[in-house]
Amino acid sequence: MDFLENSVRATGKRGTIEVITGSMFSGKTEELIRRLRRAQFAGLRVEIFKPSLDRRYSDTRVISHDDKSIVSTPVDNASSIMLLAGDVEVVGIDEAQFFDNAIVDVCNSLADNGIRVVVAGLDMDFMGKPFGPIPDLLAIAEYVTKVHAICMRCGNLAQYSFRKSEEEQIVVLGEKDKYEPLCRSCYNKVLKK
């Protein structure tokens, strides 16, 4: 352990993984943007990535539901992040649930190379099941932030992304037209109908 601490002090590099997770409309992307902007203000070299399939608001920007945004690079797969990260100190990744499990190795490699990695993604799909690689990312992260939306039915804290449409595939891009945040009690009530 002393060797690790001394090598961190000597190189000045200490990579970490931070995961911001929760339901839709909980502020995950807003928090990601806030952290990345602070890193930019501090003069750190920052690169932001998002899955190319997410074009809800913009092809080249990560945009929160409250219209905060930051320039990003869309990528088709997690491996591309390693190729495009270049000489950076902070990597941001939005909508990580849409990547395959290779994103876990990518985040580990970046952090092992002294890069701060900040990841945002849904922890559960519309059926309340763990979503994609997020559980594995939560397990390896040094820091985890779970954010909550407000239940649209009762006003309590919400952690479920209830899909209002009849589509059954796991990935369906949408906004308030297709999803609403619900607390556990309201989510279970809706499922019993």
> Can 175 be counted among the known catalytic residues?
no
Between strands 116-122 and 160-163, the pairing is: unpaired
Alpha carbons within 13 A on the beta-carbon side of 6 = 3
Which positions ≥6 away from 109 have C-beta within 8 Å?
82
Burial string for 130-155 (b: 16+ CB within 10 Å, else e) reads: ebbbbebbbeebeeebebbbebbbee
Catalytic residue among 95, 142, 167, 168: 95
Radius of gyration over every alpha carbon of the chain, rounded to an integer in angstroms: 17
Q: Which residues are catalytic?
A: 95
